[in-house]
Structure 1
């Protein structure tokens, strides 16, 4: 339909319609898309951003208006996410031209902010095109890519409300920004080398002086320093990374010592898929995840004899690798490859912090905290407003499993079928903390905050809550929290002036996070397995078979209790749990067992611990499956002391051979049913005494746990529970166990649900807390 035809003779039949579009429609090229579509269909009217999303009016023949609306719903721009379109007729104004109007703030805000998105293909082409005016410019972006969440100060999302407001655009950038036909139309971070942010390189080290090219660019100096073994602090999208050559054992070892990170694996960044395939096996699902615009770190199976330094991921058979997601990363890796020809150009790219601290994101803070770790710094003068760590994901049981949901995902809401009757804050757990603000059908999960162990992390939590409350106009009237009285997040919730406070049991929240994601309101069998969660009987729960819906749960079965000698101390000194299980299985005669683990136990130390258990002093009861994994790892001789929670269990999974013969175990009748692992422990000792390899013991143990949990679910189903099982909790980060259990349950007719949109670990807890609180309020 031509412009003249619509607006000439047929003008008397023209009608006008107002559309209110809600969702992720700001900063994603939505208005130029609307403008171009209106031009193509010959419609008059306007479009503008407001605090609800985008409002537009279109005028023309009814058929053209219908075609416009249909295209809007079915083919929006790549980064847009439309949650709702409201339409109403308005009086015709006889308008024949379409325009974009300035943004309008309203009293209520319902705008969604896009996550930070990896550099798009169009920008990459320009970045490496010598004829393009942005050739080699490390801050190239457009409406389809670049920083969003980390630079936003407030809504509506306009340049004046971002950290780019200090960079006035040059005439060339301004003309792109003002041209509705340009893909940089209203791209708020739009800039070039003439008017935008710039790089700087600073050298700190006095003891280590690589030969850096004189008068070279900051980027080339950084690449040369990395190639010669330096550790650098590099400013990214949501904070600083610490980087070094991943193939240089000395540099990686030095980084471990300085960062005080003894054993947890480091993330890597590789320039392209080809480089990753030289290090890891990559299937099509993993490729798609690596190359997605969210660009998480993806856990992949390392190839044998992989050339990276062994201390990158000690004790792991996997590597966590990501592709570059900013123009600066692309340029740096290309420059670095020239400095280190003939080998994979792979860098360690780990969070810029000391262990247990939040990632550094302000320049002065980065200098203060990272100068003792890094030899130098590659930085820039575009401020980061909100810190945001990298996300971590893997493919498990045929789908994506998030282990950390942060950059690329936050603050995009998890939209639920569940309705939140009042604005709500769920404060999450103590470890891997995230919080969640929820209103109507949207749950806004925060970026990764981390372990709430210190004031810095608690401050980061408070700042995040305030920022989300302002961005999403969500002043909470309800707060949901974990029942553990010593969690800092719980103390924060109880001390707040939010009037309605709802405590949610830890494992119920895990199962509710799965139900909320999948839109399920009916009861299910929930298997929640982790290291620690406060039980309603005051014990430490951690292997629970629940019959649960969002509102309530009953405890159908659990792993039989054992004492946890020394409480938290046993989480690191895993030999204590190993010895406790052996003592329960064999009595005090276990000290005569001829296995290496028992021979290593110091008798004097054990006597003190046995006395603690006997007298019930600092030996709380636990049903934790995480601790059973620790015990078996210790008994099998993998390690007696863990440097971080879960290390022994992870190493036990890493060595496991394929063996589907379960060890014996017992299901002890009662309410609740108890899963007795002592027969398993006796059989493991028998295998070890017969000289069975640790790989076989681990493989059989994994099969045993899957079989025991599956049989407990079958017993639940036999009492009338539904044939739907939800799995959640940190133990289900164990891919082998998860895939064994899913296959075993599906074979016997169960439908199995896993966390796909939030992590199964405590990073997804806040969504479950929010869902339980909403369901209880609706009651």
Structure 2
């Protein structure tokens, strides 16, 4: 007796998440064909809509595989099912055109060139051989070319490039990996490269393959080339050529700030650094961030000016076909294997994206421009991260490769915009249980950066569909971002911005990243360079008891005068003298920070401190690191942000394994006083103790003080979770030592991962605090 044939069933499936621009519809088509199902799949404004019909067992298997076998770039956040009446309308499975009804879907970030496209790029028999814009559904630009949603070619900057018949066939073939790959193109129909020499140059303009060959020859000859990438221009030069690196540093007024480099491949990376397996995985991931690596002095071929004084070297691998071709394919003339790749801008300005603007704003910096005619819709700088000893990642700049991937919030928020701070600015919009960071903008110091922030906010609204009802900002009355927030709030339902204390936002950011719902407070350790305090002074060495609704200041670093306010930060020697003065210690001539100052500078500073003129009290841990850096003779004048602290960390790294002792802070009534540390440092300095040992003892002393004050907070409150946040925790030695000591003492430790600990993550904290209706100050 034969088994009865199962009746057909029909099921509607809705898939939400990052499911457009990643090859999800052809994946669904192949899956349905595998199971001999009828029906259709369509993009919608909310994600992907599927209806399948066939035997119950096959429909069930199809639905199970949807969430477990998605395309590599897809991220499924929700799958919904609804049983429907069987229909006679479908006898095959088809891919339908996009449904443009209202809703929200997620756009994937830009992704590095995939292995399949790289093979085609290098294959002389392939029609895309040497095509600088080879891409497919598994790789290439998304965020930086999108001008609207749902994601379709008509709402990208590829709309001006009509497909040739061959590309159109691939685009319309569900079995091809370029099916509905919106940036699809080839040499016959795609964007074009061009090389534009600087005015007065003897170099001739060139196009396409000649443009690449000329650019490589210029780099080999020690010239500087502005290279247009996915999210903006880079300034590139040969990283092994000391003269070229020095010229770029001078032209860009870079001071001593380290340059990032791009290596041709992993073998080249191993010539300048010793990446761990986890660091290699980060370097080769589809995100292709800049990864901070320890330098390998045995094989280092870089010019000394690439990364002076830093314990780390920022390294990335090629992530566009243009980069790959710039290094050259087999048979090409040899060229540099390591390039400096620094943001194409003048100091303090946002990254340049527009071709005409690049010719003006980068004039005098570049000797030639390697440009192309695909418009960049959204500026997007390179992301930056470090890999911890345990293999976890700490993102320090969240931009290309991450934006606009959403973060899941532990609570629902009303539609809101958080504008972040004035340093390392990045915006954040949120609605429901999701938040979206915009790309890294930079320091809000001039009109060009403010305009970049306004454009970024408008683009995030277009791509996410979030229409803010309120705006959140920092409490600092002088911040450009806060003033912009006040203007932006006009006309919204909540007509004034919600102002959030700087360090509260840092701790709330760490809580939100770790999914805490805020029902229980945490002990928040917020260490950074500057933040406006509730008492009108500069905070930055804070121990807070915090949830999303508010905070209490449980402890802090003992304040000292900050001479000259923010302008004084460029002079760590003055910060050291101010700390000695606050501790009642003499300015003896044998101290390095005293010797670094001219007599008239010492006299002026003494008058400032004695009379309280042009000073403000600060509890900043970042400023204490600067002061100690000068006190031990490491850095007296800073040419870029955090230089003194970075060089102090480098010194400590050199002696970390050789010395395990620590200096003791004084802990009195909730304050931890560095006066005993300063006294011990001076005594050891006079004994001839090396600067590296002094720096290591200081780092360990800070970590032990954190552990001790957290124990006191636990005893008083019963709280057992500690959140570490603020820019000082970008210091790998300090962060890992604090986390180790706290974990050994039984605390649950929250450390940042995908959200930066510095002000680049501030907006997320502002967003969740504002969601709880807190109007601070």
TM-score when normalising by structure 1 = 0.95
Counterpart pick for 2:740 among 738, 743, 746: 743
2:33 alignment partner in structure 1: 39
1:641 alignment partner in structure 2: 637
1:206 alignment partner in structure 2: 200
Q: Indicate whether 1:78 and 2:72 are aligned.
A: yes
Contact 1:212 1:224 in 2 (8 A): no
Mapping of 1:277-288 within 5 angstroms? Answer: 277-288=270-281
2:463 alignment partner in structure 1: 471
Counterpart pick for 2:609 among 588, 613, 616: 613
Q: Distance in 1 between matches of 2:463 and 2:320?
A: 24
2:376 alignment partner in structure 1: 384
Q: Determine helix, strand or coil for the equivalent of 1:288.
A: helix
Contact 1:423 1:475 in 2 (8 A): yes
The 1:210–1:252 alpha-carbon spacing in structure 2 relative to 1, beyond 3 Å, is farther
Q: Determine helix, strand or coil for the equivalent of 1:332.
A: helix
Question: Structure 1 residue 511: deviation in Å?
Answer: 0.8
Question: Structure 1 residue 346: deviation in Å?
Answer: 0.5
Q: Indicate whether 1:715 and 2:717 are aligned.
A: no
For residues 618-644 of structure 1, the C-alpha deviation after alignment (integer angstroms, 9 at most, x for no partner) is 211110000001111111112221112
1:684 alignment partner in structure 2: 681
2:188 alignment partner in structure 1: 194
Q: Distance in 2 between matches of 1:215 and 1:380?
A: 9
Q: Distance in 1 between matches of 2:31 and 2:775?
A: 42
Question: Structure 1 residue 760: deviation in Å?
Answer: 0.4
Contact 1:173 1:190 in 2 (8 A): yes
Q: Which runs of 4+ in 1 moved over 6 A?
A: 210-216
Q: Indicate whether 1:326 and 2:320 are aligned.
A: yes
The 1:213–1:457 alpha-carbon spacing in structure 2 relative to 1, beyond 3 Å, is closer
Q: Determine helix, strand or coil for the equivalent of 2:380.
A: coil
1:250 alignment partner in structure 2: 243
Contact 1:220 1:335 in 2 (8 A): no
Contact 1:430 1:487 in 2 (8 A): yes
Counterpart pick for 1:528 among 526, 529, 534: 526
Contact 1:337 1:345 in 2 (8 A): no
Question: Structure 1 residue 332: deviation in Å?
Answer: 1.0
1:727 alignment partner in structure 2: 724
2:447 alignment partner in structure 1: 455
Q: Indicate whether 1:97 and 2:89 are aligned.
A: no
Q: Indicate whether 1:603 and 2:595 are aligned.
A: no
2:485 alignment partner in structure 1: 493
2:662 alignment partner in structure 1: 662
Ranges in structure 1 where 5+ consecutive residues have no aligned partner = none
The 1:692–1:148 alpha-carbon spacing in structure 2 relative to 1, beyond 3 Å, is same
Q: Determine helix, strand or coil for the equivalent of 1:431.
A: coil
The 1:750–1:571 alpha-carbon spacing in structure 2 relative to 1, beyond 3 Å, is same
Q: Determine helix, strand or coil for the equivalent of 1:163.
A: coil
Q: Determine helix, strand or coil for the equivalent of 1:328.
A: helix
Contact 2:239 2:261 in 1 (8 A): yes
Q: Distance in 2 between matches of 1:212 and 1:59?
A: 59
Contact 2:498 2:774 in 1 (8 A): no
Question: Structure 1 residue 199: deviation in Å?
Answer: 1.1
Mapping of 1:103-252 within 5 angstroms? Answer: 103-107=98-102, 109-204=103-198, 206=200, 217-252=210-245
Contact 2:237 2:339 in 1 (8 A): yes
Question: Structure 1 residue 486: deviation in Å?
Answer: 0.9
Q: Distance in 1 between matches of 2:552 and 2:289?
A: 37
Q: Determine helix, strand or coil for the equivalent of 1:217.
A: helix
Q: Distance in 2 between matches of 1:215 and 1:329?
A: 14
Counterpart pick for 1:88 among 47, 59, 82: 82
Mapping of 1:409-428 within 5 angstroms? Answer: 409-420=402-413, 422-428=414-420
TM-score when normalising by structure 2 = 0.95
1:701 alignment partner in structure 2: 698
Q: Distance in 1 between matches of 2:330 and 2:640?
A: 33
Contact 1:26 1:157 in 2 (8 A): yes
Question: Structure 1 residue 93: deviation in Å?
Answer: 1.3
Q: Determine helix, strand or coil for the equivalent of 2:583.
A: helix
Q: Indicate whether 1:552 and 2:547 are aligned.
A: no
For residues 662-704 of structure 1, the C-alpha deviation after alignment (integer angstroms, 9 at most, x for no partner) is 11321012xxx00000110011111111111111111111111
Q: Determine helix, strand or coil for the equivalent of 1:418.
A: strand
The 1:513–1:337 alpha-carbon spacing in structure 2 relative to 1, beyond 3 Å, is farther
CA RMSD of aligned residues (A): 2.1
The 1:721–1:508 alpha-carbon spacing in structure 2 relative to 1, beyond 3 Å, is farther
Q: Distance in 1 between matches of 2:330 and 2:408?
A: 42
Counterpart pick for 1:627 among 623, 634, 640: 623
Ranges in structure 2 where 5+ consecutive residues have no aligned partner = none
Counterpart pick for 2:575 among 574, 577, 580: 577
Question: Structure 1 residue 746: deviation in Å?
Answer: 1.5
Moved more, 348-357 or 714-723: 714-723
Q: Distance in 1 between matches of 2:327 and 2:718?
A: 54
For residues 145-201 of structure 1, the C-alpha deviation after alignment (integer angstroms, 9 at most, x for no partner) is 000000001111111110101111111111110000110000000010011112111
